[in-house]
Structure formats: C-alpha cells, structure tokens
Chain A
Amino acid sequence: EAQVTQNPRYLITVTGKKLTVTCSQNMNHEYMSWYRQDPGLGLRQIYYSMNVEVTDKGDVPEGYKVSRKEKRNFPLILESPSPNQTSLYFCASSLRRTSGMNTEAFFGQGTRLTVV
C-alpha cells in the first residue's frame, strides 16, 4: 500500500529537549515536505526537499532542521523546542516529473506535538 508514515502520532515534551519526528514514504517520490497546521493559520510549509541531499526552507523554517540522506526518509528535527512549536505536523510526498508536474501529493497521518 502506498503511504507516508510519520512517527510518533502524539508527543508531549518539555521546552529545550531535542526531538525528531520521522517520515518515510514507499512511493519513490522525489519531493518531500513538512507542514504545520495551526488554528486560523491553516497549513504552512516548514521545509522541503527536491531530492536526496537537496533541501530548502519553506515559509516558517525557524526552529526546525531537516535532512534527506535517503530518498524515502525526511525527518524533522527540533533542536530546542519551544511552546510556540506546539502544533499538528504533517509530512507529505509528491511524484514530481521532470516537467515539474506534480500530480500526487500524499500526507502522513500527522503528529500532534505539545511543548510545555
């Protein structure tokens, strides 16, 4: 089954304690991305990756890091989480052809993060 898998689904942590949210896709997609969803603000892109070892900032990258060492994995790292990073996080992957056409965009199950 084609899917994007995020872990954990729920996480409560304390300010300053480093954490990693994992994301893995089994569709051989080049493009992967992280979003956060906040009430009243909708979904906003944090970071994205066009391919292995190619990553770039999205709209709200502050306080986050990513890496793309393998095509299937795209972890999100919070080096020193703060309460304003409490949010619902989604990883997404897309089939991206050489023309730039992006016709599939699948999301993981989401990670509800609370930073106290």
Chain B
Amino acid sequence: AQKITQTQPGMFVQEKEAVTLDCTYDTSDPSYGLFWYKQPSSGEMIFLIYQGSYDQQNATEGRYSLNFQKARKSANLVISASQLGDSAMYFCAMSQQNAGANSKLTFGKGITLSVRP
C-alpha cells in the first residue's frame, strides 16, 4: 500500500521569500510518480509539478521545484519568491506507474500555507 505523510502544521512565509513544504512517502513499488497540487480557498485542485521515481534530476516548473531524495523517501516542494496568491492548501500525492495498474492518486492530508505581505 502507498502512503503519503505531510505533518507540518500551518506554514507562514514572508512575501518574496522561499518556503519548503515537506512530504514523505512509503511504497513497495519500484516505479511510482510523485505530484504536488495546490488547492486555494475556491476549492479547485491545481497541478503544480511531477517527479518520476526513475528521474535523475529534480523536477522544476517556474517557481516550483521538487527536492526528491529517493533514499529518504521524501519529495519536498520548494516555492521560491512567494507571492500572496500562493496562500492555499498544498497536497502531496503519489501513484503507481506500472502498465495495467490503476493510476490512483494517494494523497497526504495537506499543508496550509499563508503568505504574509
């Protein structure tokens, strides 16, 4: 079974500073994918970034980067130059990557990020 753990309480960051949101995972599958989503107060789930278990380099998408440490089973999200619009709930998720397998996303409980002006 797959499990995602997000244990940080609500996080606060000053506008324009960087922030790291922690995520650890557990799986016995050798092939998996890791995802981060943003859920603002309006409720939609916004896809931010993806990292494959066999990817050699950390994923980056604009101000988002994923600090992937496979041996530690961690996939932390780094947001650089925080903006007020980054205030939201952030979810870490993972899925199996085997042919024929259900690509179900297993989610963590989420972390609330508040950006201070």
> Which residues of A are at the interface with B, using a C-beta cutoff of 8 A?
31, 33, 35, 42-43, 45, 48, 50, 56, 58-59, 88, 90, 92, 94, 96, 98-110, 112
Contacts and interface: CB of A to CB of B under 8 A. Distances in A.
B33 A102 contact: yes
Interface of B: 31, 33, 35, 37, 43-47, 50, 52, 91, 93, 95-105, 107-110
B92 to A, nearest CB: 11
B104 A104 contact: no
Contacts of B104: 33, 45, 48, 58-59
B107 to A, nearest CB: 5
A90 B104 CA distance: 13
Contacts of A90: 45
Given A48-B104, A108-B44, A112-B43, 7 more contacts: A33-B103, A43-B105, A99-B97, A103-B33, A103-B52, A107-B37, A109-B44
A31 B104 CA distance: 10
A47 B52 CA distance: 24
Interface SS of chain A: helix, strand, loop or mixed?
strand
Contacts, number: 73
B95 A105 contact: yes
A101 B103 CA distance: 9
B105 A105 contact: yes
A-B pairs, top 7 by smallest CB distance, nearest first, are A100-B99, A107-B45, A102-B103, A100-B98, A43-B107, A45-B104, A110-B43
Contacts of B102: 45, 48, 50, 56, 58
Contact of B110 (A35, A42, A56): A42
A100 B29 CA distance: 13
B47 A105 contact: yes
A88 B98 contact: no
